[in-house]
Chain A
Amino acid sequence: MISLRFPPALVRGLVGATLALATLTNPRTAQAQWATTYEQFYLQASHNWKFRNQYASADRLFNAFDYGHAILYETLWTKPNAPAARLEEKAFDYLTKTVLVKPPRVPLEEVAIEPKYAQLAPEAKVMFDWAHLLHRQLYDVLADERLSDAQRDVEAQRLITYYQSRPDIAFSSKPKTMALMQEQSYSLAFRKRFPKFNGLIWGYHWLQVGLYEPLIVGKSPAAKQAGVHATVARFWQMVDGAPTALPYQMPMTAAVAPAFAARFPEAAIIFDNLHSMHDVISDILTNSAVPRDRKRAEIMRAA
């Protein structure tokens, strides 16, 4: 018979440490949400990371965009009373003069950048991560020169099916009403208070869908490379000409990448819904009319 004896001090210490972790940061722990959302690996395929390998500089910009999105939400949530210049000047300059200029080599762990926002709405964070994986995997399919157009269509549909296999975190492939974005009590708060940063986010979204177009319409690898290069150069024109050169309305996929939207309409709508959800969450976090203890509920309602 085996007997387990532990020093009482050890047991007390262990239990105490665990309870301390549970209660240290917030006295309202008892009301805290028990969240069980989870992440899923991207679809394993021969085209994984093709875009990264063939269009490295453009791919790295996406890593920088991840940082921009994450630091935005973390700042809005943790520093609600900070002056607008914190985002409009300090963060904007850091993003455009440092992070975008020398973007990260690998996709970022966003929860390490936005830990408090991730604790507020882990479900929304996982929704974004999942849609961003679809974004990247579609780039891989279009960048894989071994695939014929017909094979690309098959692979793209396989990716969309895989994406939709997680209905708990997948954005709808049906268009959402603009009322969700523009007619809520909190709507437009972010773009009014932080117009320059909002323009930068829209610039991100413009490039994220805009880069599909040269990969669709390019008839050769060289043409695709040239198209991607030109699209990235246009993005930099926007950034360098900020704020006036940045997009002044939310980029819609059908307008920015018409050939892509025509060929993959479901994906185009998913990305529009993703990008509008980005804006909705920015509005919810910015608008003080939404009390802090209602932010999570509003985000979940919008999702």
Chain B
Amino acid sequence: MNLFLKAPRVGVTGLIVAVTALATPLASLAAQTDYYNTDAGRPVRIEDAYAIERRAVELQMAPFRLERVRGGAYRWGLEPELAVGLFPRTQVEIGFPLAHVEGLAGRRQTALAGIDASVLYNLNTETRLPALAIVADVLLPVGAMAPGKAYPSFKAIATKTFSSARVHVNGQVTIGDAPAVSTGSNNTAPTAQLSRWLVGVAVDRTLPLRSLLLTAELVISQPLDSTEPTAWDVAGGARYQLSPRLAVDGGGGYRLTGADGGWFLTAGAAVSLGLPWSPRR
């Protein structure tokens, strides 16, 4: 679940440099293959139906998204996440979206914009049938910039692998009234990017000897505010396994229609570790 807040106008290059600087120290860590196991927002929103491995711990240190809407304003979001393969085919994930906003009279504030907790349950491994998964997600009203109430979402995922590519279909709904827009608001509440419903398809192709995955998606979504128009987004990106434990990703896209048309960029890095204790036999 990506959250965006209106940020001060900053150079794109500067932001990319900042994100790279955040991710660079990770390169010295050791870590396991996860470039093939896609995750929402890294780099595209449509994900595959697989959980991370049982007993795996994935630290998403700097999933970053920058948007430039028509008119020239920038929005950005940064959401460190922790995912744990707690049970077989089950991934429990918690994210801490950080927001940096420019308020009235140039006042800047950085704060937690909610806590995003989710559980992905993979129903089956792909055979002739596609792999299927269900996801329950809730954005909790925790933090100075959090929404005023919890927003639960539910998602269904299907993944089918062909010899030349994989296809993923995601469908998601979010429960909850659209937040009221108060006087003086710049309409940048954390709920701004939640969708009443979202459906999308992604196609990815793997270059296995290079540990590189290329992906592209088409996403259609209806904002929580039913008076806003349906948004159509196209995006693409790549995931790359830098070391056994470190995967990096980057991508970009364009909002074809919708209230906030414009382009967006994503970048991220994830470190995979194992649970530090041994299992019971």
Interface residues of A (CB under 8 A from B): 2, 4, 6, 10, 13-14, 17-18, 21-22, 24-26, 28-29, 31-44, 48-49, 52-53, 67, 78, 99, 104-113, 115-116, 118-120, 122, 158, 161-162, 164-165
Contacts and interface: CB of A to CB of B under 8 A. Distances in A.
Interface string B83-118: 001001100000000000000000000000000000
Contacts of A2: 175-177
Contacts, number: 154
B24 to A, nearest CB: 19
A69 to B, nearest CB: 13
B209 A99 contact: yes
A184 to B, nearest CB: 24
Interface residues of B, number: 60
Contact of B163 (A4, A31, A78, A104): A78
B206 interface: yes
A109 B206 contact: yes
B130 A41 contact: no
Given A2-B175, A99-B209, A109-B208, A42 B32 contact: yes
B34 to A, nearest CB: 9
Contact of A165 (B51, B211, B281): B281
30 contacts: A2-B175, A4-B197, A14-B199, A17-B158, A18-B158, A22-B130, A32-B127, A33-B128, A34-B127, A34-B129, A36-B124, A36-B125, A40-B55, A40-B85, A41-B32, A41-B54, A41-B85, A42-B32, A44-B276, A49-B245, A104-B211, A109-B33, A109-B36, A109-B211, A115-B161, A115-B162, A116-B163, A119-B126, A120-B127, A122-B125
Contacts of A33: 127-129
Contacts of A32: 127-129
Contacts of B33: 106-109
Nearest to A53: B30
Contacts of A120: 127
A42 B56 CA distance: 8
Interface stretch (B165-173, B180-188, B253-261, B263-271): B165-173
